């Protein structure tokens, strides 16, 4: 488990974390004419395209749900939150390789590197999600107080993503195929999760297998909130939370056991 000393050490380097997040944004948009405006324009274009194409041109509808924007909201809720999961997983699986020079030359709490990944991903998510909320308000589809249920959902999702990401990140130092595998895994995982399609269209024989997918329960939770204004199924999500906490503790212990070997390998 994470010791109190580790948490205090990480907190003492909070300036390093904030500075790294700011530097990431500066480097990402350096040399562009619009600069940080791209962080708004890209997700805004995505939301507008989904709304125009699926709600108006293709006339897509969700089974049993009324509303012109129901499918667009279903799709945006899934894609935006999946994007947070995918960004944390992808960046954390390569974070130790990408910061090899820091790990070899500087003495600092190395667990701040995954913290930087999570902070950057959450900042990106907050921008996209803010635009999504504006879309919901403009179209009259804001879910009301049930939106507060997103807070524990996001906490569980981030815990699951960083636990899996750190595990893959440690493995990637010793076995570089782990990084390639994670990209392939995410592609299959995306389509094995009800994001583009509603879970209600799945055949009966497949649904019990889908419940083994933690992201299945998280996506259903988000879609319940935004599409129907209902609360998630907390019973199923409690199990996902336990799995996520266990995975995160395992990942931290794996990192602590092999941190010395990782520096030598890098």
> Considering only CA atoms, which of 200, 220, 68, 62 is closest in space to residue 141?
68
Chain centroid to CA 46: how far? 17
Q: Above 80 in pLDDT, residue 65?
A: no
Residue 149 has pLDDT above 60, yes or no: yes
What's the whole-number average pLDDT of the chain?
82
Q: Is 107 helix (H, G, I), strand (E, B) or coil?
A: coil
CA distance 119 to 88: 9
Asked if residues 215 and 129 have their Cβ atoms less than 8 Å apart, the reply is no
Cα gap 244→175, rounded to integer Å: 24
Task: In whole angstroms, give the CA distance from residue 152 to residue 141.
Answer: 22
**Domain definitions of the chain by residue range:** 4-265
pLDDT in tens, 7-48: 566 666 667 777 777 777 667 666 666 556 666 677 677 777
């Amino acid at each position: 488990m994470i010791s109190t000393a580790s948490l205090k050490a990480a907190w003492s380097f909070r300036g390093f974390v904030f500075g790294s997040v700011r530097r990431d944004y500066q480097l990402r948009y350096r040399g562009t004419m619009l600069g940080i405006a791209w962080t708004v324009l890209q997700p805004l274009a995505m939301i507008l395209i989904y709304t125009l194409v699926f709600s108006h041109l293709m006339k897509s509808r969700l089974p049993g749900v009324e509303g012109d924007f129901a499918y667009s909201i279903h799709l945006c809720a899934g894609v935006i939150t999946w994007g947070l999961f995918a960004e944390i997983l992808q960046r954390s699986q390569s974070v130790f390789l990408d910061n090899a020079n820091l790990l070899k030359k500087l003495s600092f709490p190395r667990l701040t590197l995954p913290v930087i990944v999570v902070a950057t991903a959450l900042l990106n998510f907050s921008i996209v999600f803010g635009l999504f909320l504006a879309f919901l308000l403009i179209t009259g589809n804001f879910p009301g107080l049930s939106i507060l249920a997103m807070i524990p959902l996001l906490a569980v999702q981030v815990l699951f993503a960083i636990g899996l990401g750190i595990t893959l990140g440690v493995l990637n130092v010793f076995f570089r195929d782990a990084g390639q595998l994670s990209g392939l895994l995410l592609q299959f995982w995306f389509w094995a999760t009800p994001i583009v399609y509603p879970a209600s269209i799945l055949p009966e024989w497949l649904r019990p297998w889908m419940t083994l997918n933690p992201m299945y329960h998280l996506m259903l939770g988000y879609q319940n909130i935004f599409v129907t204004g209902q609360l998630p199924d907390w019973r199923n999500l409690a199990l996902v939370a336990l799995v996520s906490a266990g995975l995160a503790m395992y990942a931290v212990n794996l990192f602590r056991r092999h941190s010395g070997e990782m520096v030598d390998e890098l």
